[in-house]
Structure 1
Amino acid sequence: MLSDILTDEIFVFLLIFTRFGTALMVMPALGEGLVPARVRLLLALFVAGVMVPVLGDRLPQEAPASPFELLFLLLVEFLVGLMLGLSARLLVTAMDVAGMLLSFQMSMSNAFAFNPAMATQGSLVGSFLTVMAITLIFVTDLHHLFFAAVVASYDMFPPGEMPVMGDAAQMIAHLVSHSFQVGVQIAAPFLILGLTFYAGLGLLARLMPQVQIFFIAMPMQLLLGIVVLMLALSGMALFWLGEFEQALFYYMR
């Protein structure tokens, strides 16, 4: 009797660990490659242990008799956790998109730095904005909201029910386009400023052909971009935080 109860408890824990563990491995901030895999694994085990009393009544209480049924249940939890983690990570890429657009407008397109979220080289401004976004997730406790979204996902995606692949693919495609839209919206003031600046340079070149516009434009463009970035940084951060929070609330409706 004790072995049967223990087996069922382990089964419930395994289901919760699969969804939360997969989401933690993919989500921004805690799922970055710079965080050691052992730390992420221990965190996933700890969170799953804490969530067993909270989510135990929403899960199957008896372990399946067939190993194929168990594999199917674990596959469903893995796919749901992967979708949740990717949904949050795609919103972080909006900062990288905005950073690349800003780099072009500030004449810094050839300045690269390591981007921790992408685990590769990226634009200097994009890397800065990405690190800022990851920091803001911890500062504003949005990682707690992510855990709440995973808990709420058990109402939207019950265990054992395979998500409709067409709807899931459509949702991911919408998130990709939305993250790009958010990145463009964040960089919109700089795009407008860049167009105005280039129009002014063109007018100056027509009025004063003897002036070497190129040598004047580069330093002015860089200085103006840095000043505008300093002034607009707080607004950019608040706008992105609102979009990130709204994306997490989608799973909590």
Structure 2
Amino acid sequence: MRIDISLLPALAAAFMLVFARIGAMVMLLPGFGETNIPVRIKLAIALALTLIILPLHRAAYTIDMQSMAPLMVMLVLEIVIGVVLGATARVTLSALQVAGSVIAQQLGLGFVTAVDPTQGQQGLLIGNFLTILGLTLLFATDTHYLVIAALNDSYAIFSPGEFVPSGDIAALATRAFAAAFKIGMQLAAPFLVFGLVFNMGLGVLARLMPQMQVYFVGVPLAILAGFLIFAAVLTTMMGTYMDYFIGVMHQLIPRS
């Protein structure tokens, strides 16, 4: 029996192209691409997704094995597409860091820092807490499946072999950063109001009672009142963030 293996080089090239897109995206995804996750785990996840998605989109790749130049160009384009998709999902997580920074400043905890486990660098404690809570909710509610769906449907938006329009990427990045900052400020809005009212009250109190050490009285009271407000609005905050994340993922899924 004679087995025809002439298709293996083209199949291997298609596998590497799909792996380039998925691997670049996985390295930046929230939850999967964190610095404390071993690289082997990330590669295993990317490999598993590649084996699932490759049969679905194998026909979309037109590969000429006679020349390496077009293949290398396609490889670079696939990596760029993966980075764009992964960075878009990663930017959504920065909204929680923005909200945490504003909240910490309003509560007088702007100097309290700890190592952010998702980034491996120093971050404000409340921002780190919101980030970890957001990641937990993404997996607890199975929202991470939307990321995989967006990856699968990215072939309808960015066809293999086609140059990615730089204007569209710039517009996508601008909208993603603007939306993340906007949502971060909206999540911290109750604390902005609290900080304004509380500081105005301290100013009036300082004028009425100059002999009182307003700072030593105000800081513990601000922390106590701020944490009470934080406990009261935390559920609403995270619900708003989840709606925002789902909306961003749906923008990457053209059929939804």
- Structures share a fold, TM > 0.5? yes
- Counterpart in the other structure of 1:36: 38
Please list the CA deviations of residues 35-92 of structure 1 after superposition, one character each: whole Å capped at 9, or x if unmatched.
10001001111110111222223333x4432111110111111000000000000010
TM-score scaled by length of structure 2: 0.94
- Does residue 47 in structure 1 map to residue 65 in structure 2? no
The amino acid across from 2:133 in the alignment is: M
Say which SS state the counterpart of residue 6 (structure 2) adopts.
helix
Please list the CA deviations of residues 207-237 of structure 1 after superposition, one character each: whole Å capped at 9, or x if unmatched.
2222221111010000011111111111111
Q: Could you tell me how far apart the structure 1 residues matched to 2:54 and 2:186 are?
A: 41
- Counterpart in the other structure of 1:145: 146
Say which SS state the counterpart of residue 2 (structure 1) adopts.
coil
Bigger Cα displacement from structure 2, 234-243 vs 111-120 = 111-120
Cα drift, residue 132 of structure 1? 1.0
> In 2, are the aligned partners of 1:11 and 1:63 still within 8 Å (CA)?
no
Cα drift, residue 129 of structure 1? 0.7
State how 1:55-204 maps to structure 2 within 5 Å. Answer: 55-60=57-62, 62-204=63-205
> In 2, are the aligned partners of 1:7 and 1:63 still within 8 Å (CA)?
no
Q: 1:17 aligns with which of 3, 16, 19?
A: 19
Say which SS state the counterpart of residue 26 (structure 1) adopts.
coil
Q: Could you tell me how far apart the structure 2 residues matched to 1:63 and 1:25 are?
A: 28
Larger helix proportion, structure 1 or 2? 1
Structure 2 unaligned spans of 5+: none
Root-mean-square deviation over aligned CA pairs: 1.3
Runs of 4+ in 1 over 3 A off after TM superposition: none
State how 1:198-237 maps to structure 2 within 5 Å. Answer: 198-237=199-238
- Equivalenced residue count is 252
TM-score scaled by length of structure 1: 0.96
Q: Could you tell me how far apart the structure 1 residues matched to 2:157 and 2:80 are?
A: 13
Q: Could you tell me how far apart the structure 1 residues matched to 2:109 and 2:197 are?
A: 18
> In 2, are the aligned partners of 1:96 and 1:126 still within 8 Å (CA)?
yes
> In 2, are the aligned partners of 1:18 and 1:74 still within 8 Å (CA)?
yes
Structure 1 unaligned spans of 5+: none
Q: Could you tell me how far apart the structure 2 residues matched to 1:178 and 1:64 are?
A: 43
- Does residue 248 in structure 1 map to residue 253 in structure 2? no
> In 1, are the aligned partners of 2:29 and 2:89 still within 8 Å (CA)?
yes
Q: Could you tell me how far apart the structure 2 residues matched to 1:221 and 1:2 are?
A: 75
Q: Could you tell me how far apart the structure 2 residues matched to 1:149 and 1:127 are?
A: 26
Say which SS state the counterpart of residue 162 (structure 1) adopts.
coil
Cα drift, residue 115 of structure 1? 1.1
